[in-house]
Structure 1
Amino acid sequence: MLKGLGIEFEVWKKNDVDEQYPSHLSCEEIPVFLARRKAQTFTDKLRNNHLLITADTIVWCEEQVLDKPKDFHDAREILKKLSGNKHLVITGVCIKTLEKEVA
């Protein structure tokens, strides 16, 4: 989307973000919590002219978050669980500068 708007950007990656979350959070709160946690991991890289955008997406089915598949077999099992069942795909977004954070 940013590219489509002609906005220059960089992609920063971290693979070691802790994706655990408090058990009391609702399905709508979980991806926001995780997006904020991702933003916090980049605080040391932020400068005055930076706008950081992070996001997280979960799949909610049968009152639980479906974890990322561990392998091909696990992916098939997850798809079977989703097939014919109602589920939600929920994304949380966090936008952060040095002075402010909104999610």
Structure 2
Amino acid sequence: MSDLILASHSPRRGDLLNQIGVRFQSHGVDIDESVRSGESPAKYVERLALEKAEACRSQLGTIKAVLGSDTAVVCDQHILGKPRDMEHGVEMLMQLSGRGHQVMTSIALVVDERSLSQVVTTEVFFRTLSLDECQTYWATGEPLDKAGGYGIQGLAAIFIERIVGSYSAVVGLPLAETAGLLKQVGIPVWQPLG
């Protein structure tokens, strides 16, 4: 049995926790993800990660530790959400083409009366993309539920020239920082998962 609940049904976040041997249960929550007026991208992801963790804990009425996370793709200080449709998805990819952008991922751990959080920013650099590539990528279905309209761990890996920072944060959960927060509250990593 696990002492940790992940406030997400994201298979990517689950895989990342499994990768470092953390035992957990998943419980996704729906919250309002609207950006507040004047809210910076870093404050936005930090707030959402905390709200997800708190909402999950409240829904379950649990005393267990709850881990929330949120990721935003940021270009020119503008948050690129999930694409609404093909036109929007292709537009976002073309905006990222041939340049760098930031991926900000926040983690928030709520345990007892404490909440711990951290925002990790990674610089991601795309090669120049053609309109045809963007449309073909959209047709794969992969970009549909991804912030910024791409998944670095999937087919879009061929768009990436380089990253500076945490690869796992771009996927959805910064592992070094997550392990650090878990250790602070006595939740072990590297456990046998059998």
> Which consecutive residues of structure 2, in runs of 5 or more, have no partner in the other structure?
1-15, 118-194
Retained in 2: the 8 A contact 1:61–1:88?
yes
TM (norm. structure 2) is 0.48
Displacement, 1:83?
0.5
Partners of 1:3 and 1:86 lie apart in 2 by: 30
Partners of 2:109 and 2:83 lie apart in 1 by: 28
Counterpart AA for 2:18: K
Counterpart AA for 1:82: L
SS of 1:28's partner is: helix
Counterpart AA for 2:113: E
RMSD: 1.7
Retained in 2: the 8 A contact 1:94–1:101?
yes
Q: Report which of the two has the higher share of helix.
A: 2
Partners of 2:17 and 2:79 lie apart in 1 by: 29
Retained in 1: the 8 A contact 2:68–2:107?
yes
Q: Considering only CA atoms, is the larger Rg found in Structure 1 or Structure 2?
A: 2
2:54 alignment partner in structure 1 = 40
SS of 1:54's partner is: strand
Match of 2:44 among 9, 30, 34: 30
Q: Deviations over 1:50-69 (max 9, x none)?
A: 11111000011122111210
Displacement, 1:72?
2.6
2:95 alignment partner in structure 1 = 81
Percent of pairs with identical residues:
29
1:91 alignment partner in structure 2 = 105
Counterpart AA for 1:7: V
Displacement, 1:46?
4.4
1:17 alignment partner in structure 2 = 31
Retained in 2: the 8 A contact 1:46–1:98?
no
Displacement, 1:33?
0.9
1:8 alignment partner in structure 2 = 23
2:116 alignment partner in structure 1 = 102
Displacement, 1:9?
1.0
> Which consecutive residues of structure 1, in runs of 5 or more, have no partner in the other structure?
none
Structure 2 CA distance for partners of 1:47 and 1:68, relative to 1, 3 Å: same
Give the length in aligned residue pairs.
Answer: 101
Retained in 1: the 8 A contact 2:57–2:66?
no
Q: Deviations over 1:22-71 (max 9, x none)?
A: 222222221101111111211221423x1111100001112211121012
